[in-house]
Chain A
Amino acid sequence: MEGDIANMGQFIGAGLAAIGSGAAAIGVGHVAGNFLAGALRNPSAAGSQTATLFIGLAFAEALGIFSFLVALLLMFAV
């Protein structure tokens, strides 16, 4: 019985951690969308800023990966 409740907590926690992935998706969408909006206004400057774009994407995405990692740990490691 206790094991069942602990299991349930694990799965609920993993599901809650998945919200973080969705939030990271919003962040990545913001970065890419704003880059595109800026790039279409001034296409000549866009090429030199792709490195910045990828750095921004990486930072936004890393936090989503962290929450995914928490979910994985809850599911398989705890």
Chain B
Amino acid sequence: MAEEAHGEGGGLVFHPLDQFKISPLFGDGPIAWYTPTNVTLWMGIALLCIIALFVLGTRARDIIPSRVQSVAELMYGFIYKMVEDVTGHEGAKYFPYIFTLFVFILFTNYLGLIPMSFTPTSHIAVTAVLGFGVFIAVTLLGFYKHGTHFLGLFWMTDAPLILRPVIALIEVISYFVRPVSHSIRLAGNIMAGHAVIKVFAGFAAIAAISPVSIAAIVAIYGLEVLVAGIQAYVFTILTCVYLKDALHPGH
């Protein structure tokens, strides 16, 4: 319906959301769940990069690390410290899961910044799997560790008795909104940034304002490099916060 507004007369030469189109790698038949698409391709590339950095890069296990090894050690140490700071010592057991999430999101975000590439994390379908995965895992873990005691997370014993049902209702709602906001935050940020770059790229076709819009693209690209890292960090630290709630529901 909005096509008329963006047609030949509308100004933009291409649609800013075209870059998020999922297309099969071979031929163009219908897309089933097993069809290799560009999402598969770029997830695979991200996986290969992660393997290259963490398996091949640290294979030597030098006492004095090489450059690649020190990058890997830096990331490992950074996330390990974060998990330990937020969730306490018993949370360190779940570090592999959290580190996997962080590295996957970080690499897909950064690979998506390469021109003509594709960002799997810009799709809510991808981030929702990650977000709901965290939600389900954390909820099950909470019930497994604390049984019905876990529901104390919603029943604030330090609030006045009259207010407690109201607070419990709000807490329950906010608990169930968590996976939604968790996944939409990542997808929305990445998608918004990429769409803005494309909108400015559309303005570059108009000769009078093309220098301004190209400068704007450079500036926004710099911002996107920042956002890609921060969103991976934010996703991970929120996972840690949710994990902390499951491990220590009392406070």
| Interface pair B17/A76, CB less than 8 Å apart | yes
B237 / chain A contacts, CB cutoff of 8 Å: 51, 54-55
B90 at the A interface (CB under 8 A)? no
Give residues in A with beta carbon < 8 Å to B: 3, 6-7, 10-11, 51, 54-55, 57-58, 61-62, 65-66, 68-69, 72, 75-76, 78
User: What A residues does B195 contact at CB under 8 A?
Assistant: 72
> B35 to chain A: closest CB distance in Å?
23
Give me 24 A-to-B residue pairs in the complex whose CB atoms sit less than 8 angstroms apart, sorted by A's number: A7-B1, A7-B5, A11-B5, A51-B86, A54-B233, A54-B237, A55-B234, A55-B241, A57-B234, A58-B234, A61-B189, A62-B184, A62-B185, A62-B188, A65-B185, A65-B188, A65-B189, A66-B184, A68-B188, A68-B192, A72-B17, A72-B191, A72-B195, A75-B2
B1 contact from A10, A54, A61, A66, Cβ within 8 A: A10
A66–B195 Cα gap in the complex (Å)? 15
Chain A nearest CB: distance from B186 CB in Å? 9
Say what secondary structure dominates the interface of chain A. Answer: helix
B73 close to chain A: CB less than 8 A: no
A-B contact count (CB 8 A): 50
- Cβ contacts under 8 Å, A51 to chain B: 82, 85-86, 237
Give the complex CA separation of A51 and B17 in angstroms. 33
Chain B nearest Cβ from A70, distance in angstroms? 11
Q: Which residues of B, 80-137, contact A by the 8 Å Cβ criterion?
A: 82, 85-86
Known: A51-B85, A65-B184. 13 other contacts (CB 8 A): A7-B4, A7-B5, A10-B1, A54-B230, A55-B237, A57-B234, A58-B185, A62-B185, A62-B188, A65-B185, A69-B184, A72-B17, A78-B1
- Whether B238 is near chain A, meaning CB under 8 Å from some CB there, is yes
Q: Which residues of B contact A7 (CB under 8 A)?
A: 1-2, 4-5
CB closest residue in chain A, given B233: A54
A15 to chain B, nearest CB (A): 13
Tell me, in angstroms, the Cα distance from A68 to B192 when the chains sit together. 8
C-alpha spacing A66/B191, complex, angstroms = 12
Within residues 1 to 32 of chain B, which ones have a CB less than 8 A from any CB in chain A? 1-2, 4-5, 17
Q: Are A55 and B192 in contact (CB under 8 A)?
A: no
